Copies of this chain bind each other. A is one copy, B any other.
Amino acid sequence: MAKRETTKDKILNAAEALFAEHGFEQTSLRQITAEADVNLASVNYHFGSKKALIQAVMARYLEVLMPALNAEFDQLEPQAQFTTRDVFDCFREPLNALKKVRKGGPTIFLSLLGFAYADIQGHLRRYTMEHFGEVMHRLLALLHVANPNLSPADMFWRLHFVLGASVFAQVSGPALREIAAADFGESIAADQVVDRLIPFLAGGVDAPTA
């Protein structure tokens, strides 16, 4: 018989939901502990600081995503030829695997990533880059193989645009989905966003320069 949900997990879950919706800075520990129905001080007791809590929330996803993503890259890397699209398709399965962490995991994670990335000068940026630095470099290398005509500088910027488009799609996703539903009378599931995103990104990266 499963032990009742521990305080630590209650905090993590409540924090994750609030962070993904409102961002890190905009979510107070008092909101989190109220939502989790635990005492305010328990955050600092179990995690030490808000900073550490944020990283703990991110860690649960990174631990699943990173190995899966690196495995996909490992598979593609030795091949002689592949397309930009092939590279981006590497993200499909690993992102999808985040559903194991939680229902809606892929969307939640991308939202968190977006807020982390938007936190320009904070510790989050550094933390994220520590965990994504290697992925970035591998991604950059793979995209260069798929697109040898592009200069490294061009590719660098396009990768950045890719990041921006991906991350923003999630951060402003909820509000936008409302508008989309209102204007187009269709409800758009969150995982369909990734399906719509990948062709766009590949098209952007493959575009002729100037």
Chain A positions within 8 Å of B, measured between CB atoms, are: 22-23, 25-26, 117-118, 120-121, 125, 152-154, 156-158, 160-169, 171-172, 175-176, 180, 183-184, 186, 188, 193, 195-197, 199-210
A161, B169: Cβ atoms closer than 8 Å: yes
Complex: A163 Cα to B168 Cα, angstroms: 8
- Check A125/B175 contact, CB under 8 A, given A120-B22, A165-B162, A165-B204: yes
**A144–chain B nearest beta-carbon distance, Å:** 12
B169, A156: Cβ atoms closer than 8 Å: no
**A73–chain B nearest beta-carbon distance, Å:** 19
A175: B residues at CB distance < 8 A: 120-121, 125
Complex: A33 Cα to B26 Cα, angstroms: 24
A196: B residues at CB distance < 8 A: 154, 157-158, 209
**A174–chain B nearest beta-carbon distance, Å:** 8
B157, A23: Cβ atoms closer than 8 Å: no
Complex: A197 Cα to B165 Cα, angstroms: 12
B208, A205: Cβ atoms closer than 8 Å: no
A153: B residues at CB distance < 8 A: 180, 184, 186, 188
Given A160-B172, A164-B166, 14 extra CB contacts under 8 A: A25-B26, A26-B120, A26-B121, A156-B183, A157-B188, A158-B196, A163-B168, A164-B172, A196-B209, A200-B204, A202-B207, A203-B205, A204-B204, A204-B207
